[in-house]
Chains A and B, each alone.
Chain A
Amino acid sequence: MSKARTLADCISDGSEFADGTISVAEVSGAAPLASPTFTGNVSVGDNVQIRLGDDDDLQLVHTGSHSYIQDVGTGNLRLRGTDVRIESNTGYDMLSTVDAAGVTLYYANTPKLATASDGVDITGNINLADNGKAVFGDSDDLQIYHNGLGSYITENGTGSLFISGTNMWLKSSGGDTYILCNDTTDTVSLYQANAKKLETSSTGVDITGEVKADKFTNDEALPDIRPALLFDFANSKSLDPRVEFYRETSATYWDGKSTTKAEENLLAGSQTYSNTNWNYGRFSIAQDATAPDGTTTAWTFTQTDVSSGGYLKQTPSQNVAAIDHTLSFYIKYVDWEYITLRANNNANDVVFNINAGTVVDTSNVGSAITSWGIEDAGNGWKRIHITGPYVAYNFHLYLTDSTGSNAVSALDSTFLLWGAQLEMRSNMTSYLETTSTPITKYQPTLQTVTSSTPRFDHDPVTGESKGLLIEEGRVNLENNSTGGFSYVGAGSSITTNYAIAPDGTNTATYLKAATATGTKVFDHYGQTASTTPHTYSVFIKAYGYNRVGLEYLASGGFAENARFNLSDGTVYQSSSGATGHIQEIGNGWYRIAVTCTPTSTASDIQRIFILDNSGNSSFAGDGFSGLLAWGYQNETGSFPTSYIPTSGATKTRSADIAKIATANILSTVEGTIYAESISGPTGWDAASQYNIFHYGDDNQNGYGVFKESGSKDFWFHLRKDNGSIFNVSNGTDWTSNLTSKVVIGFDNSTQAYYVDGNQIGGTQTYNMGQLRHANITELNIGSSGSGAYFNGHIKKLSAYNERLTNATMQAMTE
C-alpha cells in the first residue's frame, strides 16, 4: 500500500486517493479549502457529526444505533426536490412528495393517504380508538365517535344535521329495516320486524295494523274520542265478533294474494328449431311453412339419412323430475306418417300416426308415460302430447315406423313442425310461445267461501283491499257456467278444458273462429227472459283475436250488444239499449258483460261473437286464432255481480247480511256513524236503492244513508212509523266504482250529514223526543235491514256515542 496522502495532497494535484477513500484522520487539521471535490466515499465514524452552517446548524450523525439529520440552528430544516421520497431499504415508497402532485403516504408500497387539490384521498379504513373523534366544522360542529359504550353522530354547532340520499335505509346490524326514505315515491316508511307498518302518502299516512293511543289530539277537527265501534274491514280483513254475518250460500271473491300457475312452457325457442337450444340430427330444417296461426313460422323437417330416422331434442332445465310433465308438439303430415315421442332417456315412447290423427303404439310407455293423445288443431295440423313423471327426462321426437323403430328408410320424407311445449303438470294446456328462455305465468285465482263466511274482496290485478263485499241475492240463469254452448256458428269450434281458467282449474274453453268468411258466434239459449234488466257476463281472454262482442237476443228481433277491446281493456262500442262492462282480472283475462232490458219474455239467447283485430264481425279466420272463455253468467240486474258457478241447474247466491245488535253498545240519544265505501260496477248507479248502513229497526225506521232507487244522489233519511221524517240528498251523482266517505251525527235536537267533506241539506233540527228510541235496535251494515243491499264494498265503519261537531264530521269525510 502506498503512503497515505493528505486531503491537501489530493486536492492540490487533483488526483484521487489510491484506495478511493479518505479518512477523517487523514483530513484532520487540514485547512478549509473551497469547493473540494470527492471522487470516492466519505466515511464518518459513529457519533462523529457532519456539521453544516456557521453554528453547526445542520448535523448528520450515526450514533451506532440510529441515524439522525438534525437542524439545531437558525431557520427550518427544508428538503427540496421535484420528486422527494422516503423509501424502505428495499426501495418501497413510504412517503413521496412530488411537485404539483402532492404528498402520498404508503403502506407496503400501496398509497393510503394522498393530498389532493380538494383535500386528501384515503384508501382503506380510518380507525379511531374509543373517544377518538372525526370532527368537522370550524367549531367542531359535527362529531362522529365511539366512546366504548355507544356510537354517536353529534351535531352541536351552527345549523341542522342533514342526511340525504335517493333511497335511505335505517337498518339493524342484522339487516332488518326500520326506516326507509324513498326518493322515488316520495315516501317514508316505518317497519317492524321487516314488515311495513306506516307509510306516508300524498294524503296522509297509510297504517297497516292496529293503532293504539292513550289520547289523540289533532289540529284538523278529527275525533279525539275513541269510537264505540270501529270496523276497518279493508285493513283488518276480519269481522268483529259482535257483527252477525249471514249468507245462506257459498260465494266467490278475490283474496288479493292467491295465484295459480297458468301458461307454462319450459322449453326455450319453442318454435325456433334452428337455435342452439335444440339439437337435431339426420334432418334438414327450414322455416318456410304456414303455421297453425297463419304465419310463416312453421318448419319443414326433411329426412337426410337413408337408413335411420331423424331426431329432435332439447334438454330442459328440469331434465329429470319424478313429477308429471306434459310434452306437446304441433305437427303436420306431408309424406311421412309415423312420429314417436320418446321419454325417460329414450326408454319409453308413444307412436303417433300424424296423417290419420291416431295413436298407433303405446306398448312401450312403461311407467314413465302415463297419458298421451293427438288432437286436431285445424288445417291438417295435429297436436301430439305425452304426460308422465319422466317425460321431461331427455326426451326426443323421432321419425320412426309404426312400431316406434327409427331404423327406417325414409330419405327425403318430410313433415311440418311448429310450437313445442313442456309443462310441469298432468295435462296439456294452451300453447305459449317462448324465445330465449322458458316462461311460466301466474294469474289471480278466484276464491270460493262457504256459507256465512264474509268476503273481504280485492282488486285481482292490483291486490288493493276493497273491504267487506255486500251483495244482494242473484241467480245465474246459465245452467252450465263452464260448459259448452247450445249453438256454435258454422265452421267455428270449441275445445273444452283447454286452458287455465280464472278459478285455477283447467276448464277454460277455446273458441276457434271458422276459416270461412262470416260471423263467429257461440250461443247459450233456452233461458227465459223477463222485461227487466239482464246482464250477461263472461270471463274472456285474447287467443289470437283481441276483440269480442257480447249480445243479448230475444224473440221479436230484440238484440243489444257491446263490443270490447281486450288489448286495452275498453268497451269501445255499445248499442243504444246496452251497457258494456269490463274488468281486468289478470294474466290477460277480463270479465266482460252486457246489460240490457229485453222486450220479450220468450226464450232468449246470450251470444259471444269473435271480432277480428280490426273489429270486423264478418271475416275469415286463420284456422287457429280465437278466444279463451269461461264463467258464463246471465243474471237479472243492471250490473254483473260476483261469479256464480253452475253445473246442471241454475243457481242462487243468497244475499250478504251483516248487522250488529246495538243495545248496550251504541247510544240512541246521540251519536255519530261514519262509513267509507266503494260503490258497485258500471250500471250500479242506474239501479235500485242501496244502503251503506242503516241504524234503526228492521222496518226501515231510523237513520239511513243510501242511494235512492231512480236517483243517483247520496240520500240520508230519518224515518219513524214507516214514514219519512225527512229525506235530504246532495244532488250529486253517486257514480259507479266511487270511493266515498259519509257520516251522520245526531242528538236530541239536531242532525247533520256529510259526504266527502260537504254538508248535505244543512243541519236538521228535528226533536228526537218524538222518535221512539226503543225502535233503534240494530246497525245494519250494507243494507236497510230488510233488503236494499249495497252491492259494493264497505271499507270502514265506525260509530261514536257522541254527536261530533259539524267541523269534526266535515274533517272526517274530507
Chain B
Amino acid sequence: MATYYLKATDENALWTALEAADLVYKIYDGDDPLNSPPADYDFEENGDFTKTGAYEWAIKFKVSLDIIGTMYRETGTMLTTDDGMEYPETEALEGYHANLRAILTSEQEAALPTIEAPATPQRKWLGE
C-alpha cells in the first residue's frame, strides 16, 4: 500500500477523479423515480436509461480514503472568544484535499489529482 495526497479543485472533481480511477462507485437510490426508466421508456429509440437521481458514493474494498476537504492554516493572528480566551485565526487553503491508501496501477495514478507528499502533513494514517 502507498499513500497518495490528492488535491482537487472541489469535492465533485475529487469524486469524479476517484471514479475514473475505479476506486469508488455510485450507489443509486432505487426509490428515486429519476433512477428508474419510465414504464413507456423506449430503449431502442433512446438507448440505455441514464440515472439522474440521488446516489451516494461507495469506496471499493481495500481502498482507504480519508476526505480532508478544505484545509486551513494559521494566519499568525490571535483572536479572542467572548469570554476572553485567545485562539489562532485560520484561513482556508485552495483546493479540496484527501489522503488515499491503495495499490494503484499507473493508469489509476494518472487519473488522480495527486500532489507531492508534503514535508509535514497535517494528517497521517494511524500507524505512520
Contacts and interface: CB of A to CB of B under 8 A. Distances in A.
Contact of A644 (B27, B86, B126): B126
Interface string B1-15: 100000000000000
Contacts of B30: 719-724
Interface in B58-82: 58-59, 61-62, 64, 66, 72, 74, 79, 81-82
A256 B83 CA distance: 43
A654 B125 contact: yes
Nearest to B90: A603
Nearest to A654: B64
A528 interface: yes
A605 B123 contact: no
Tier of interface size on chain A: 35 or more
Given A246-B61, A654-B64, A526 B88 contact: yes
B114 to A, nearest CB: 18
Q: Give the most central of B74, B101, B123: most A CB within 10 Å.
A: B123
Contacts, number: 107
Contacts of B122: 479, 649-650
Interface in A184-200: none
Interface string A133-159: 000000000000000000000000000
A64 interface: no
A765 to B, nearest CB: 21
A786 B35 CA distance: 19
Q: Give the most central of A246, A251, A526, A604: most B CB within 10 Å.
A: A526
Contact of A557 (B35, B82, B124, B127): B82
B31 A724 contact: yes
B85 interface: yes
A473 B64 contact: yes
Given A251-B126, A450-B127, A526-B74, A555 B79 contact: yes
Given A557-B82, A786-B59, A722 B35 contact: yes
A722 B124 CA distance: 35
B1 A699 contact: no
Contacts of B89: 603
Contacts of B1: 248
Contacts of A248: 1, 64, 101, 125
A603 B124 contact: no
A699 B122 CA distance: 33
B126 A699 contact: no
A654 B128 CA distance: 12
Nearest to B87: A525
Contacts of A555: 79, 81, 87
Contacts of B86: 487
B127 A475 contact: no
B99 interface: yes
A645 B72 contact: no
A652 B87 contact: no
B124 A652 contact: yes
Nearest to B74: A526
A533 interface: no
Interface string A720-761: 111110000000000000000000000000000000000000
Interface in A580-619: 602-605
A559 B87 CA distance: 14
A698 B58 contact: yes
B36 interface: yes
Contacts of A291: none
Interface string A533-562: 000000000000000000001010101000
A682 interface: no
A649 B123 contact: yes
A605 B64 contact: no
B121 interface: yes
Contact of B28 (A487, A603, A722): A722
Contacts of A479: 122
B85 A651 contact: no
B29 interface: yes
Contact of A605 (B29, B62, B81): B81
B90 A528 contact: yes
B120 interface: yes
A422 interface: no
Nearest to A473: B66
A111 interface: no
Nearest to A450: B127
Given A451-B127, A487-B87, A720-B30, 17 more contacts: A250-B126, A475-B66, A526-B88, A603-B90, A649-B122, A649-B123, A650-B122, A651-B124, A652-B99, A652-B124, A654-B101, A698-B58, A698-B61, A722-B28, A723-B30, A786-B58, A787-B58
